[in-house]
Amino acid sequence: MTHRFGCNTLYPGGRLPALEETFDLPALRQALLTIRDAGFDGCEFSHYQHLIAPEQERLREMCSCMGLQPWSAHSWVPLPAALGDVPGAVPRLGESLAGAARLGVQVLVLHAAGAPPSAYPERSEALSRALQALGPAATAAGITLALENCADRRDLDFLAALLERLALPFVGFNVDTGHAVLHGMTPAEVIRVMGPRLVTTHLQDNLGLRDDHLPPGAGSIPWQTVRDALAEVGYGGMLMVEISDRPPGREPDPVGDTRAAASFLRKLFAEEH
Ligand SMILES: [Zn+2]
């Protein structure tokens, strides 16, 4: 099987400032060049909603010129867990989706707001309404919404049961390998729960203590088991890395981290049997 690899856009000027406007079009162009020069096939836009529409369209053209596939975008607008939050969240999520369509990606990664298990019935209804409201725009743009694992097994089982019940063709899952470990699971376990609904990945590493977003191979995740679980569920999408330009406890190294991720993954998947 031929694999395609991708990496998220990292701010090229040191630690990404709180004000994302700093990550402007020239900086994003530099981030894309770093991804291409490391040998990746595609990219995820980690920060794009501060850009105006023509800038988002320009990024799509830049990807085309560089031979990079714009694979995914990350929205930082959470899917609502409370019914009262649905009317406010849906238009903002719609803006995320419109921006993602302008970037030309096929996956929009979303976090679902958490809730205590006692509030799961309401959470279920809130999530259903929000996802269904996004359906027409997602379908028109050919974009799949990918819910990321951000909490423990109980939370994941809730989301898996919900997606099973709703059976919306434009909704799937994103496995975040680092989050799996920090919430008491193995990445392979999360991948198996997501199964055929897995539509994208956030491959990132840590030492089991904090959300480091290290390049795969730089922490303690057993990556052969991740690779084998992805094959087991038949995942055929881009193998997307999610490293950080705001790493805790160290200085950002966008070029070094991007290169390290590319060479580690190429080697790991070349050894697949
Ligand atoms: Zn992630």
Domain ranges of the chain: 5-270
Distance from Cα 186 to the centre of ligand 1, integer Å: 15
Give 23-53 pLDDT, tens digit per residue: 999 999 999 999 999 999 999 999 999 999 9
pLDDT band at 2 (very low <50, low <70, confident <90, very high): confident
Mean pLDDT score, 201-210: 97
Supply the mean pLDDT for the chain: 97
Give 177-196 pLDDT, tens digit per residue: 999 999 999 999 999 999 99
Distance from Cα 165 to the centre of ligand 1, integer Å: 24
**212-231 CB burial, b ≥16 within 10 A, e <16:** bbbbbbbbebebeebbebbe
Contact 171/119 with Cβ under 8 angstroms? no
Fold of 5-270: TIM Barrel (3.20.20)
Contact 103/141 with Cβ under 8 angstroms? no
Distance from Cα 72 to the centre of ligand 1, integer Å: 12
Write down the pTM of the prediction.
0.97
Q: Where do we find the tokens 């539509």?
A: 199
| pLDDT higher than 90, residue 272 | no
Distance from Cα 152 to the centre of ligand 1, integer Å: 14
Distance from Cα 84 to the centre of ligand 1, integer Å: 26
pLDDT band at 273 (very low <50, low <70, confident <90, very high): low
Contact 162/127 with Cβ under 8 angstroms? yes
- Type and span of the H or E element at 179: helix 177-182
Quote the tokens at residue 124: 């279920």
Neighbouring CB atoms inside 10 A of 90's CB total 19
Number of H helices, E strands in the chain: 9, 8
Q: What is the reported pLDDT for 19?
A: 86
- Phi-psi category of 167—alpha, beta or left, where left has phi over 0 and alpha has psi -120 to 50? left
Distance from Cα 201 to the centre of ligand 1, integer Å: 8
Q: Where do we find the tokens 């790493």?
A: 247
Distance from Cα 55 to the centre of ligand 1, integer Å: 24
Distance from Cα 146 to the centre of ligand 1, integer Å: 11
| pLDDT higher than 80, residue 87 | yes
Distance from Cα 64 to the centre of ligand 1, integer Å: 25
Q: Which is it for strands 198-202 and 107-110: parallel, antiparallel or unpaired?
A: unpaired
